[in-house]
Structure 1
């Protein structure tokens, strides 16, 4: 009979977004108000063709924020069990991806330039192949998570 794998470590990585929904509504309201005032001023000065471009400006800002918020739905779950590391990726427009790595053979790699104090990508290396994780995290967060994940992999297996 197979023993259930005991969970020793689990982390969920999500992109950080500093602007809340309420903040977005306030920003868009101010932008619409300013563009409406500028459009009215141009219309009264006889430059009425400018007004539609100000509306296009608001539409482009709205589209950019919509894309940004859609990217915020990405998520990576990393679970370290007694015998394996499991990486699950979720995306708002793609199917779920799940990768399994043998715990004893997986390595955590962080690209770092210590001379210039630059932090690059974070990878899981297994069987000569690298899988990038935490692409959406900031440099400091990638470095911190790499240390945490290395520590979880180094813990004795239960």
Structure 2
């Protein structure tokens, strides 16, 4: 998912790239609690029938579901911010509020490449190249979204180059 904002006074465009998430954190908590309650309800019924061996497996199932939902939620906090200004391009990769990487490039020298797999087995890669550096952006996007982002960034860079001349 890509969101775009523009600031006309500073001639800056900002692109926010995030993975698609259909379930919020609160939704995950509700889902976990409902599944855990139903699992425990069935487990209590079997315990009353004398099948005590079900309890450890039910607790293990709840624990695995909780850990997997936590890891999924943590991975879905990933985002990339691409700020294009007339004097620089700033690419910030975040996981939640923690900044993982930050790159600063000169917009005049940036080349945008959309590399496609020749066999169509793997998704394409959107690369920003400048002075020997190659930075992949939009890895969490679909191929169509990646192509649209490449065109949008190319247009933003061309308009920045025109304003500096």
TM-score by length of 2: 0.77
Moved more, 104-113 or 57-66: 104-113
Cα distance per residue 1:45-85 (max 9 Å; x no partner): 43312212111111111111111222222222111111321
Q: 1:36-75 counterparts in 2 under 5 A? A: 36-75=40-79
TM-score by length of 1: 0.80
Aligned twin of 2:81: 77
Q: Is the 8 A contact 1:14 1:76 kept in 2?
A: yes
- Name the CA distance, whole Å, in 1 between partners of 2:88 and 2:97: 28
Q: 2:135 aligns with which of 131, 142, 154?
A: 131
Structure 2 unaligned runs (5+)?
1-8
Q: Is the 8 A contact 2:12 2:84 kept in 1?
A: yes
Q: Is the 8 A contact 1:7 1:79 kept in 2?
A: no
Aligned twin of 1:157: 163
Aligned twin of 1:23: 27
- Name the CA distance, whole Å, in 2 between partners of 1:96 and 1:113: 27
- CA drift at 1:100: 1.1
Cα distance per residue 1:4-37 (max 9 Å; x no partner): x943321122222111234323322331133113
Aligned twin of 2:6: none
Root-mean-square deviation (CA, aligned residues, Å) is 2.6
Structure 1 unaligned runs (5+)?
none
Structure 1 runs of 4+ with >6 Å offset: none
Q: 1:99-114 counterparts in 2 under 5 A? A: 99-113=103-117
Q: Is the 8 A contact 2:114 2:126 kept in 1?
A: yes
- Name the CA distance, whole Å, in 2 between partners of 1:112 and 1:23: 36
- Name the CA distance, whole Å, in 1 between partners of 2:119 and 2:101: 36
